[in-house]
Chains A and B, each alone.
Chain A
Amino acid sequence: MSSIKLKNISKWFGNNLVIKNINLEIKNGEFVVLVGPSGCGKSTLLRIISGLEDLDDGEILINSEDVTNKIPSERELSMVFQSYALYPHMNVSENIGFSLKTSGMDKKLLKKKIAEVSKILKLDNLLNRLPKQLSGGQRQRVAIGRAIIRQPKAFLFDEPLSNLDASLRVEMRLEISRLHKQLGITTIYVTHDQVEAMTLADKIVVINQGEIIQVGSPRELFNKPKNLFVAEFIGTPKMNVLNCITKRGFIYLNGKKDIKTNIKKTDDEIKKIGFRPNKVSICEKEKGLLTGEIKFIEYLGSEQFIYVDCGIDEKLVVVKTNPDYKLPLKKIVGLNILSKDLYFFLKNGEVLI
């Protein structure tokens, strides 16, 4: 039960500033996901919070107590690692109970606690197994058990699902979500997978190149991205972004010839225009805002993605449609977008509001 506050955190690796003056507040019981492309510094930030990595500048407060100079175990946080990092020479119950045993807990009480935790995680029957005798999902659960037994102030997850196969990943995602609801402990979760971020988080923190780009709920980030990076990063398939210019109050798209659209905008700074694949509708070619030839169709059963070549920037426009809607390849179609679904990006990448 605790809140965590990061104040002006910076970290250098040699001559590289990998964390740039980060400020972040995490409320009690919140599930916060740090998301960003690989190498953006999100894992480093998590390790700084855990105390495994020291910081060069700034403060970390847990329940408004300064823990910046405290060693990891004194911060009373627990962490789940990408590789599970179980102790291979100890069985499941020893793995789970190791931290409490180290802190000198009474054996009977320890046993009771292990039983409690293993029940929550459905590991009751596996207590005497060694890690190598467990499947990936079971190992992951042991790692989580090791984290929750200490009743930490917060959980830190470092890409915990990226070693699992796809179906298990979905299952464990739900498990983690359920645990968070059940235990109500503040959680910080690092991932590069925006689907995980969207599904798990109360609050998503998008990080790029060591900086926080935007903080918000999944809904906010999806609907009101602050800039081009967030707009492209959140959502699958990616947002369609096309280069454009404004001429005489109208938007022109860059093609072989500039294509005039009927969108009126007077702001000269607009350089790019974006729209979500699910907000595009297909119509007769004469009636469309854009026209193009269907190049590929990806049929996924519950939905289908149609890739249309509109002759703009050599980029294909992705359209998400009803899977029952049958379209032949190479057909010329028109695309329509409602103007309220359009995003306009300025020269510096910011979204025009």
Chain B
Amino acid sequence: MFWNYGIFCAILSGSSWGIFWQIILTILGILTTGLQLSLDIAPSLFSGALIGFIYIIYQKYIQLKQHIIFVIITTLLIYGVTLGDPYYGENENIFIELILVLVTSIFIWISVYLTLKNISIGKLSRYQSEKFYIRLLWGLGLITLILITLIPFYIMVMTSLKNQQSLILNPLDLSLDFSNGFSNLFISYIELFKNYNFHIFLANSFFVSIVTVFITLLFSIPGAYALARLRFPRKEWFSSSVILIYLIPSIVLVIPLYAVFSQLGLRNSLFGLIIVYPATTIPVALYMLRGYFSTLSSEIDDAAIMDGLSRLQIVFKIAMPLSKPAIVSVALYVFMIAWNEFLFAFMFLDDPNLFTLSRGIISLNSSEVPQQHLMAGAVIATIPIMFIFIYLERFLISGLTSGSVKG
């Protein structure tokens, strides 16, 4: 079929990379320069397809010099297709436009070159066509994924560093303004801690999350061990019913809980949250840990029993050290749930001194508080999780048990 031919692959990869980079670089251009650029995919589509076509014909003669020539050809093609005006619109800055087109051309060329390398022009073998499609989809997918995660974060951080005036002037212009001094960039953050009690929110969030992690592990480790190892009546029924709590959306739970907690005086207290959070995290922690415990050899437990350990000692001295990666990932997961939890915090907490971060940020969301403060709050909420994750990531390596049983 036609999709097995190198020439089709060349045109396909050229046009898709053309569209792809045109969209992305235009968006990035708008976000970094603040210029109003128009997005038109046709020029890059045609130029990409053409450059792919040219490449597949002349691919045997590629050297460094040719790379530069190909980039220049792409640039010329883009200018040619758009009749010399790639980003039409008002207030044009021809120099920036030229750089953008050049960057776009470089990216298109590199991508096309890498996906089409060693692909011949005629009918492709199964191996070759597979190689081509995997390269194309891998590249497109990977870059899309990276951008989807990074762009919102980038917007968040950049907005938080701007001042009210420039944001109102052009909310899309995310270029940094150093004219008022470096420390002025962080004015929103200083403001948040000074006037909006963010240090209290931060402390509350840490307190609630850490206690939740602790309580969850306290119950789920012995519980999961029991489910994985011990024999008791109704075990299977019990272990699967624990998960049933996830059938009930928390919005359904929150209303009766609100009523009950009000009566008991648990509403508007962190203690109330510390009761609710583990209740939602223990089931899944139990499930994850149980799965891990049952992969450990039960002969190790038998050996420990022969060596005179009680079941509880086995949990602490044998099972826990061996399942460090699982426990760390469960702890991380529970910490993130508790840290990000919004609904219960929003419903239960009224006193600003008890607000957790997510609740605190929502309290900023009024017309009086500027947008960059909100963004700064979001950054403050995100950064601890990021660092904890990066720090704990090295504990998540598995393979700790290798060598205990037959090898």
Contacts and interface: CB of A to CB of B under 8 A. Distances in A.
A joins B in a complex? yes
A102 B308 contact: yes
B89 interface: no
Given A52-B305, A89-B322, A131 B404 contact: yes
A264 to B, nearest CB: 55
B300 interface: yes
A243 to B, nearest CB: 42
Interface string A43-85: 0000100101000000000000000000111000111011111
Given A82-B299, A85-B297, A89-B321, A130 B403 contact: yes
Interface stretch (A132-140, A179-187, A273-281, A313-321): A132-140
B307 A73 contact: yes
B305 A99 contact: no
Interface string B377-407: 0000000000000000000000011111111
Contacts of A52: 302, 305-306
A85 B405 contact: yes
A99 B308 contact: yes
A84 B403 CA distance: 10
Contacts of A83: 297, 299, 404-406
A103 B405 CA distance: 25
- Name, among B297, B308, B313, the residue most crowded by chain A CB atoms within 10 Å (CB to CB): B308
Given A52-B302, A87-B318, A99 B402 contact: no
A229 interface: no
B401 A79 contact: no
A250 interface: no
A301 interface: no
A84 B309 contact: no
Given A79-B302, A89-B321, A89-B400, A84 B307 contact: no
Given A73-B308, A79-B306, A83-B406, A88 B299 contact: no
A131 B299 CA distance: 15
A85 B305 contact: no
B306 A73 contact: yes
Contacts of B302: 47, 52, 79, 81, 85
Given A132-B403, A136-B406, A163-B406, A85 B303 contact: yes
Contacts of B407: 132, 136, 139
A31 B407 CA distance: 28
Nearest to A130: B403
Given A81-B302, A83-B297, A87-B318, A102 B400 contact: no
Contacts of A139: 403, 407
- Considering residues A47, A79, A133, A146, which has the most beta carbons from chain B within 10 angstroms of its beta carbon? A79
Interface in B238-253: none
A98 interface: yes
A245 interface: no
Contacts of B318: 87
B406 A84 contact: yes
B403 A88 contact: yes
Contacts, number: 83
A83 B299 CA distance: 7
Contacts of A84: 404-406
Interface in B283-307: 297, 299-300, 302-307
Contact of A50 (B304, B306, B321, B404): B306
A280 B259 CA distance: 91
Contacts of B297: 83, 85
A114 interface: no
Contact of A88 (B304, B306, B404): B404
Nearest to B303: A85
Contacts of A103: 308
Contacts of A130: 403
Contact of A85 (B308, B313, B404): B404
A102 B314 CA distance: 11
Contact of A133 (B300, B304, B403): B403
A103 B400 CA distance: 27
A86 interface: yes
Nearest to B406: A163
Nearest to B307: A99
A82 B322 CA distance: 20
B406 A132 contact: no
Contact of B307 (A98, A133, A136): A98
A146 B400 contact: no
Nearest to A78: B306
A108 to B, nearest CB: 20
Interface centre among A47, A78, A86, A134 (most CB of B within 10 A): A86
A134 B402 CA distance: 11
Contacts of B299: 81-83, 85
A146 B406 contact: no
B88 to A, nearest CB: 65
Contacts of B308: 73, 99, 102-103
Nearest to B299: A85
A88 B322 contact: yes
B316 to A, nearest CB: 12
Interface string A112-142: 0000000000000000001111101001000
Contact of A131 (B307, B309, B403): B403
Nearest to A81: B299
Nearest to A89: B321
Nearest to A129: B403
Contact of A87 (B313, B404, B406): B404
Contacts of B313: 102
A77 B401 CA distance: 26
A87 B305 contact: no
A130 to B, nearest CB: 7
A307 B287 CA distance: 57
Interface string A139-174: 100000010000000000000000100000000000
Given A82-B299, A85-B299, A89-B321, A77 B404 contact: no
A65 to B, nearest CB: 18
A230 B374 CA distance: 83
Given A87-B303, A89-B400, A139-B403, 6 more contacts: A52-B306, A84-B405, A88-B403, A102-B309, A132-B407, A136-B406
9 contacts: A52-B305, A83-B297, A86-B303, A87-B318, A88-B401, A88-B403, A99-B307, A131-B403, A134-B403
Interface of B: 297, 299-300, 302-309, 313, 318, 321-322, 400-407
Interface of A: 47, 50, 52, 71-73, 77-79, 81-89, 98-99, 102-103, 130-134, 136, 139, 146, 163
For the complex of A and B, the 3 pairs showing the least CB-CB separation, nearest first, are A132-B403, A88-B404, A73-B308
